Structure 1
Amino acid sequence: MKDLWSKGMNNAENAILCGTSAGGLATILNCDNFKSLLPENVKVKCVADAGFFINGKTISGTSDIQEMYRKIVNLHGSAKNLPSACTSVMEPSLVRV
C-alpha cells in the first residue's frame, strides 16, 4: 500500500481489491482491512475469484480438497504447530486457524 500511496492511491475515488484462488481467499479475509487503509470517501469493492475451497466430494466421489490439505499438512509438518485442543478431536488437515 505504501508503494501505491506514493503512486497516487491517496487520490483514489474508487479502489478494487481482487485475487484468484489463494489470492481470492486473501481478498475475502482482508477486504475490511484494505478499506480501513483508505480515506472514508473511497468506494471499495472486493472481488474474490475462486477463493472459497469447499470440503465436499467431487462428482466421482473423491474428496480432493481434503486430500490436498492432508498433503500440505504432511509436507510442511504443520500438525505440531496446530492447537492440540483441535488436533485431539480431529485430524490436523481439518483444522482451520
Structure 2
Amino acid sequence: MSKELLEFSASANGDKWYLEYENETAEPTVIHQANAASGGAETKWSVVSFLQVAGDHPEGQALRKALAKARPLQAEADSDLSIVKGNAATVYPWTAKTKVGDD
C-alpha cells in the first residue's frame, strides 16, 4: 500500500499540515505535525473532523484549496470507470457553506 503526503499548510512556528493519501480509493487523512519545541507530536484527523474544528482557520482554508485542486485530478483518474446515468449532484463535506439567500 503506497502513501502519498501533500503539505498544504505550514505555520510560522513550525507546525505543518499534510494530506495523506493511502491509496486511490480511500478518503484522504489530515496529519498535523507539531513543531519540535512542542514535541513534534503527530495527530491524524478525517477531513470532515478537521474542518469542523479548523474550518475557518487558515489551515482549514488551505485544506479546502488543496482538495479543490485535487478534485480535477481525481476526476481524470476516474474517467476510465463506467459513466453514471442521471442527474447526480456531488456535495463534498469540505466545500464552504453558503449563506441563505446567496444563490
What TM-score does the superposition give when structure 1 sets the normalisation length? 0.26
Structure richer in strand, relative to its length: 2
User: 1 or 2 for the larger relative contact order (CA 8 Å, sep ≥6)?
Assistant: 1
- CA radius of gyration, larger in: 1
Q: How does the TM-score come out when normalised to structure 2?
A: 0.25
Give 1 or 2: higher helix fraction: 1
